[in-house]
């Protein structure tokens, strides 16, 4: 028998409310975004209602993911079987993300099947996206070596590299915000700029939201690490957060190749 934050249960048996909370939050978020589109385009629902649903969904998703991560730090070190269950749950979650991003890429391929370019496009492939790409790739490297340091018992190195990873994630988000400012305000390129505009902001916005969630998750892990909650035998949450972060990085590489480079390549 083991004791956890949710009570006593048999070893190997695990029930958690947090994945359900995160799923409900994600569903509400997507519903709110859909209602926002309807409110803007057709006035079907008040914009304030759509925004409120999206905001509540975002809060629910963040709370669910945070609780899921924090939960792994309480109680005794989990068994190998439960570690595998956590990893499997994370992989299943990432599988749904593959489908979500896949739908966006399919839409982009349909856009490319028509006349190209569909509208006058701004210069997307510049130094900013290259710097942002380097920052995100560097964050994967620092996270990998942070986990390696944790497994070797080097706590100070682990915390330092994990802190750098969180900082790099914030820098990437700041770079994306600046890119949006340049495109929307300076260039006048927005959602209304044809089908490519909707594909561009849909995919980059979805990815940016995933990076934000990753930064929140890693920040929670970092906060717990500062309290000494991580160790070679207590790295489940570090492992699952790393899986998510490396997935987000891989999606960004695909996105840059297909969307940014693809915007200037005529097939």
Q: Say if residue 2's pLDDT is above 60.
A: no
For residue 223, which of 241, 210, 207, 244 has the smallest C-alpha distance? 241
Q: Which of 144, 175, 180 is nearest to 161 (CA)?
A: 144
β-bridge mates for residue 234, sequence order: 231
38 and 139 in a single domain? The answer is no
Q: Do both 217 and 252 map to the same domain?
A: yes
Which pLDDT belongs to residue 255? 93
Using CA atoms, how far apart are residues 201 and 187, in angstroms rounded to an integer?
Answer: 14
Whether residue 124 sits in one domain with residue 66: no
> From CA 40, how far away is CA 80, in angstroms rounded?
50
Among 15-24, 26-35, 204-213, which stretch is predicted with the lowest mean pLDDT? Answer: 15-24
As a whole number of angstroms, the distance between CA 112 and CA 151 comes to 46
Residues 181 and 260 both lie in one domain: yes
What's the average model confidence in pLDDT over 6-15?
44
Q: How far apart are CA 71 and CA 92, in angstroms?
A: 19
User: How would you write 198-227 as a 3-class SS string?
Assistant: HHHHHHHHHHHHHHHHHHHHHHHHHHHHHC
Residue pair 204/175 in contact by the 8 Å Cβ criterion: no
If asked whether residues 67 and 84 sit together in one domain, one would say: no
Provide mean pLDDT across the span 108-137. 84
**pLDDT of 238:** 86
Residues 117 and 236 in one domain: yes
Interval 149-197: pLDDT, tens = 998 989 999 999 999 999 999 999 999 999 999 998 888 888 777 778 8
- Structure confidence at residue 7 (pLDDT): 40
Cα–chain-centroid distance for residue 221? 15
**Three-state DSSP state, 1:** coil
Say what percent of the chain tops pLDDT 90: 32
CA distance 4 to 143: 28
What pLDDT score does 72 carry?
54
- DSSP letters of 159-201? HHHHHHHHHHHHHHHHHHHHHHHIIIIIS--STTSHHHHHHHH
| Residue 160 and residue 248 in contact, taking contact as beta carbons nearer than 8 Å | no
**CATH code of the domain containing 170:** 1.20.120.80
Q: What is the pLDDT of residue 124?
A: 86
What confidence category does residue 81 fall into, taking pLDDT thresholds of 50, 70 and 90? Answer: low
**Count of the separate structural domains present in the chain:** 2
Residues 18 and 141 in one domain: no
**Which of 24, 39, 71 is the C-terminal boundary of a domain?**
71
Predicted structure pTM score: 0.78
Higher pLDDT, 232 or 243: 243
Which is more confidently placed, 242 or 71? Answer: 242
- Predicted confidence at residue 41, as pLDDT, reads 65
Q: Which residue would you say has higher pLDDT here, 253 or 5?
A: 253
Flag whether pLDDT at 121 surpasses 70.
yes
What CA–CA distance (Å, rounded) separates 241 from 248? 11
Segment 77-82 mean pLDDT: 60
N-term to C-term CA, the chain: 62
Domain that holds residue 59: 1-71
Residues 30 and 140 in one domain: no
Q: Looking at 16, 40, 71, which one is the last position of a domain?
A: 71
pLDDT of residue 69: 63
Quick check: 243 and 69 in contact, CB under 8 A?
Answer: no
**Same domain (yes/no): 235, 194:** yes
Q: Please give the pLDDT value at position 5.
A: 40
C-beta neighbour count of 261 within 10 angstroms? 13
Do 109 and 177 lie in a common domain? yes
Query: What is the DSSP pairing of strand 2-4 with strand 7-9?
Result: antiparallel
For residues 99 and 56, state if they share a domain.
Answer: no
Interval 20-45: pLDDT, tens: 788 888 888 888 877 877 777 667 78
pLDDT tier at 207 (50, 70, 90 boundaries)? very high
**Same domain, residue pair 99 and 215:** yes
Which pLDDT score, from 0 to 100, does residue 267 have? Answer: 55
């Amino acid at each position: 028998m083991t004791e956890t934050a949710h009570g006593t249960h048999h070893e190997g048996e695990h029930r958690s409310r947090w994945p359900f909370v995160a799923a409900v939050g994600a569903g509400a978020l997507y519903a709110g975004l859909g209602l926002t589109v309807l409110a803007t385009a057709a006035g079907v629902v008040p914009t304030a209602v759509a925004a409120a649903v999206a905001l509540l969904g975002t809060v629910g998703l963040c709370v669910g993911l945070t609780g899921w991560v924090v939960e792994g730090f309480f109680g005794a070190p989990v068994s190998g079987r439960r570690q595998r269950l956590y990893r499997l749950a994370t992989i299943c979650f990432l599988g749904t993300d593959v489908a979500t991003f896949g739908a966006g890429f399919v839409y982009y391929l349909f856009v490319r099947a028509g006349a190209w370019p569909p509208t006058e496009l701004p210069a997307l492939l510049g130094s900013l996206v290259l710097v942002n790409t380097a920052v995100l790739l560097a964050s994967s490297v620092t996270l990998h070596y942070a986990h390696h340091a944790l497994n070797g018992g080097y706590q100070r190195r682990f915390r330092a590299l994990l802190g750098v990873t969180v900082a790099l994630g914030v820098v990437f988000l700041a770079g994306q915000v600046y890119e949006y400012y340049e495109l929307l305000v300076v260039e006048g390129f927005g959602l209304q700029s044809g089908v490519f505009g909707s594909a561009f902001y849909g995919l980059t916005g979805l990815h940016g939201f995933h990076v934000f969630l990753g930064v929140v998750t890693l920040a929670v892990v970092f906060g717990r690490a500062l309290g000494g909650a991580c160790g070679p035998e207590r790295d489940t949450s570090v492992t699952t957060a790393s899986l998510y972060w490396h997935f987000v990085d891989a999606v960004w590489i695909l996105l840059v190749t297909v969307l940014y480079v693809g915007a200037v390549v005529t097939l």
